[in-house]
Chains A and B, each alone.
Chain A
């Protein structure tokens, strides 16, 4: 994205993976909308982190993108389709939400089974996804035998096994300890570098957002609205050293300041 490059009229940019037009959401007709009309475009392959104080509509935004919830007005397209119709979307929840009665392998296959993917193909994708998250040898384990971090890896593998073009993540590492959280973040970036899905990652952690994202959206509450749309120009690959990079630290401080400014509770 060099601003100096003159763009030729004949070159059309690729259509955005995610497009929101005047999308709003309210739960109660009289109350302040959870999300004021929002315009947003996210390009294919972008890693977008969404930050904001509670009540800013982060999770609402994600649920709208997933098709789990319908906007009150406006419309959303993902790769040109309404979210509820596309098969190229995967969602990673706050909790691992594994089915306790299935072993790890069967959990990873769950979404494929729902889509009636043939058994051989299911097995191939299950093994590939488990290998990606480093749990190839735990396919026969049951969820209760796993640590919190391992459960989240399985949850991630379950999403990746669907070979998504868009991955929606709702504070997936929020319940994990910091070490595990950092490690999983690094691995998530490594997988992203290979697969280049579009990511929308909701988080409470500024450091996590800056480390992971190519772009950070800071939302402000009541009504939920876009306060800042920031690029993160840290070089890739990002790893443990990135966390000591002065540029990284400056960005964390900058974004923290902006986040505090939009949070009425912190004022």
Chain B
């Protein structure tokens, strides 16, 4: 079969199989336990009833996720330049950056609210904390992984340190930066959702997906809970797709990962 047709057909077939499997699983449960896995029509109904509210909640969560993510990207780019500038700086600061990632968010969430205020600021801060580390690790690695011959070329050209950093190390680090962005793009909506769940309580009406889940769970609205989770998934996919698109825009003309030779990737 034409491989291009296959490329579209196979994912569709798999999706149909999964949906059928879901429905079968629902019916195979004993009637008293079927509420654990709502049927597809029940899900559709949940979307119909709660759709507008979920969409609004998704918008709030998406904005917070984007805010924290963008903040993390900018701060990570700056921090990486600093970290790559000397071994001493790196050895001194690295443990603390790791510490930032190790912080158990659940435990400090109440304190964060007190620091930056409830609602969006807290959610953005938590998202930042979760997405920052992969970005800074990858970008720093990229800034340090420069071809020795290119460094010789710049030394022969009597390049100043800032020229080496901006004209050589920074562009060489771009693919690494995008790897970090992809990882963080997956983490960002989960982070924002979790943060909303933990600290969004006092957000004053601006309901995010995390708070929605909390409410549905309290009211035992299981199908709506599943619907919320699905919306969260879609949010993650959208962000990853956006980052992939951006990565393509920046890298496709020169980077090997987009080389025209191997379209099978």
Question: Of A67, A94, A144, which is within 8 A of B256 by CB?
Answer: A144
Collect the chain A residues with CB atoms within 8 Å of residue B249's CB: none
A160 to B209, CA, bound (A): 61
Residue from the set A66, A68, A95, A114 with the largest chain B CB neighbour count within 10 Å: A114
Which of the candidate stretches B16-24, B39-47, B163-171 sits at the interface with the other chain? B163-171
Contacts A94-B149, A97-B150 aside, 7 further interface pairs with beta carbons under 8 A come to A66-B156, A68-B155, A97-B152, A101-B174, A110-B153, A111-B156, A115-B158
A231 to B103, CA, bound (A): 72
Question: Of B153, B159, B163, B167, which is within 8 A of A93 by CB?
Answer: B153
Known: A97-B150, A100-B254. A114 touches B155 (CB 8 A): no
Minimum C-beta distance from B158 to chain A (A): 7
In this assembly, does B101 line the interface, its C-beta being within 8 Å of a C-beta of chain A? no
Collect the chain A residues with CB atoms within 8 Å of residue B255's CB: 100-101
Question: Of B149, B152, B155, B171, which is within 8 A of A101 by CB?
Answer: B171
Collect the chain B residues with CB atoms within 8 Å of residue A115's CB: 157-158
Collect the chain A residues with CB atoms within 8 Å of residue B154's CB: 114
How many residue pairs at the A-B interface have CB separations less than 8 Å? Answer: 54
- Residue ranges of A at the interface with B (Cβ–Cβ < 8 Å): 66-68, 87, 89-91, 93-95, 97, 99-102, 110-111, 113-115, 142-144
Of chain B, the residue at the smallest CB distance from A89 is: B156
Q: What are 27 A-B interface contacts by the 8 Å CB criterion?
A: A67-B156, A87-B158, A90-B156, A91-B152, A93-B149, A93-B153, A95-B149, A97-B149, A97-B150, A97-B152, A99-B150, A99-B168, A100-B254, A100-B256, A101-B171, A101-B254, A102-B254, A110-B157, A110-B167, A113-B167, A114-B154, A114-B157, A114-B159, A142-B253, A142-B254, A143-B254, A144-B254
Tell me how many residues of B have a C-beta within 8 Å of chain A: 22
- Residue ranges of B at the interface with A (Cβ–Cβ < 8 Å): 147, 149-150, 152-159, 163, 167-168, 171-172, 174, 253-256, 259
Collect the chain A residues with CB atoms within 8 Å of residue B158's CB: 87, 114-115
Minimum C-beta distance from B159 to chain A (A): 5
Q: Is the CB of B156 within 8 A of A68?
A: yes
